[in-house]
Each structure stands twice: as C-alpha cells, then as structure tokens.
Amino acid sequence: MTNHWRDIKNTDLILINGANPAEAHPVGFQWFMRAKLDRGAKIVHADPRFTRTSAVADMYLRMRVGTDVAYFGGLINHVLQNNLFHDAYVRNYTNASFIVKEGYAFKDGLFSGYNADKRSYDISTWAYESIPPPPSPGEANATREGPATSGSGFAKRDMTLQDPRSVFQLMKAHYSRYTPEVVSSITGIPVADFKKVADLVGQMGQP
C-alpha cells in the first residue's frame, strides 16, 4: 500500500483477503470502519478463518487455504468479460495495447519457453513486438508508438485492443478459465456469493 491508512476512509469497497486487520492493526482499522459507517462502503472478507474482521464485514467468504489465485482470477475475468474497467485509462496508461511476439503461449499450466530439464524459462517469446526506433535527435517529425522495449525500437501497439496478441486479449483469454463455477470448485465459495462480490467489484469500474 503506497498511500496512508487514513485514505481508506474514502473508499467504496474494501476487499480483505487472508488477513485480520481488525486484530492485527486495530488503530489503522478505524479507517475501514469510517468508510463503512460514513460512506456506506462494503467490506468483503475472504479467509479460511472467521475472525473479528469477518464479524464486521458485510460479506464473509470462507475459502480454502491457498486458493487466492482462483478467487482473484475470477474477479479479473468478470471485469474483463463485461468491460467493467476504466477504458481510457487502460488503453492509454497501461501495457494493455502492447503486442506480444508470436510464439508466446500458455498450455497445461506452463508458459512458452519452459525447459523441463533445467526447470527454467527462456522468456524471449514473452517480449513485446517492436517497431523501428524513432529518428535520432534533430530529425524532423520524430514519432514513436510506445515505450522502449528490452531490444531495439519501441513496443508496437493496437489502441483498439482487438489484436489477439495484444496484452489485453492475451490476459482476457488467460483468465477466461476462471468462471464462477470453476472458482467455486477450487475455493469452496458458493457460486451465488462469488457472483455478489464480482458484481461489487465491477461497479467500481465505472468512471
């Protein structure tokens, strides 16, 4: 967290996962309660244990130990599939529009470039596709599409986010496996409860 505890009082939704701030951070937790009592913020607590944090949460989700990835993967999938994100911000200020090199893949739980003998990855296929570097200083009308890549040139971009090799589409495909039913089967959270949380998270994506 890069902002002050006090800033929590300005939030509309608080997701607490695998932590018990009501007991571990009783002084800081006052700002959670200020958000809840003054703004009507919702507190969602996902944890294998029912704690004092659970007691004041609007929703408590009992989840299996070690299933956080599936839980958050399901929330990400809900947001991406339903376009519940700040579109202008994602297009212009993240790497969502960057095009990944051909050859990148994810299959059977492994990314492309895995060497089973060395138990390590060759990450060359994970890089962005690049375009030629801009003209040297002094040349007129210098233009570029994105920030510098690890190689020469700059990252190629698709501002429509429709290219199948754009970071946005690759991420959308990657998280599509985490349907509410799959999330429930992994985490133990009932489908109906997970959908309620996903809807709350989706509401936060409105400008």
* Residues paired with 61 in a beta bridge: 46
pLDDT tens digits for 161-203? 999 999 999 999 999 999 999 999 999 999 999 999 999 999 9
Region 19-30: what's the mean pLDDT?
96
pLDDT tens digits for 73-99? 999 999 999 999 999 999 999 999 999
For residue 159, the tally of other CB atoms under 10 A from its CB is 12
3-state secondary structure of 76: helix
| Residue 75 covered by a domain | no
112 and 135 in a single domain? The answer is yes
168 and 132 in a single domain? The answer is yes
Q: Name the residue among 121, 90, 119 with its Cα closest to residue 103.
A: 121
Which residues span the domain enclosing 40?
5-67+181-203
Q: Name the residue among 170, 166, 118 with its Cα closest to residue 146.
A: 166
Model confidence at 2: pLDDT above 70: yes
53 and 138 in a single domain? The answer is no
| Residue 76 covered by a domain | no
| Residue 26 covered by a domain | yes
Q: Which residues contact 65 (CB under 8 A, 6 or more apart)?
A: 48
- Count: domains in the chain: 2
Q: Taking the model in full, what pTM does it have?
A: 0.87
User: CA-CA distance, 57 to 42, in Å (whole number)?
Assistant: 7
3-state secondary structure of 13: strand
Name the band, by pLDDT with cuts 50, 70 and 90, for residue 30. Answer: very high
134 and 157 in a single domain? The answer is yes
pLDDT tens digits for 140-167? 555 555 665 555 578 999 999 999 999 9
Region 121-142: what's the mean pLDDT?
78
154 and 125 in a single domain? The answer is yes
145 and 186 in a single domain? The answer is no
